[in-house]
Amino acid sequence: EAQVTQNPRYLITVTGKKLTVTCSQNMNHEYMSWYRQDPGLGLRQIYYSMNVEVTDKGDVPEGYKVSRKEKRNFPLILESPSPNQTSLYFCASRPLDRNNSPLHFGNGTRLTVT
């Protein structure tokens, strides 16, 4: 089944404790992206990647890191989480063979930083 898989689904951590949220897709998509969803703000893009070893900042990159060592994986790293990073995070991917292809989303990771 074609899918984007995020882990974990839920995560509670404390301020300053490094964490990684994993994202993997099995559709051979070139493009992958991370979003955060907050009430009243919709989805805001954190980072994106057009292909292996190519990453770029989105609209709200501060406090986050990503890497794209393999085409299928795009982990999101919070080196020193803070309470304002409490949010619902989504990973998404799409092919780049057409410039109007839809995004495929994972089921989300709900992060709470205390």
Partner 1 sequence: AQSVTQLDSQVPVFEEAPVELRCNYSSSVSVYLFWYVQYPNQGLQLLLKYLSGSTLVKGINGFEAEFNKSQTSFHLRKPSVHISDTAEYFCAPLVGKYIFGTGTRLKVLA
Q: Maximum Cα–Cα distance for the chain, whole Å?
A: 42
Which segment (15-23, 68-76, 78-86, 103-111) binds partner 1 by CB under 8 A?
Answer: 103-111
Contact between 4 and partner 1 by CB under 8 A: the answer reads: yes
Contact between 52 and partner 1 by CB under 8 A: the answer reads: no
**Rounded CA Rg of the chain:** 13
Q: Is the peptide bond before 39 cis (omega within 30 degrees of 0)?
A: no
Q: DSSP letter string over 40-81?
A: TTEEEEEEEEEETTEEEE-S--TT-EE--SSSSB--EEESS-
CB of 105 to partner 1, least distance (A): 3
Contact between 90 and partner 1 by CB under 8 A: the answer reads: yes
CB of 43 to partner 1, least distance (A): 4
What is the binding site for partner 1 (CB under 8 A)? 4, 35, 40-45, 48, 90, 92, 100, 102-103, 105-108
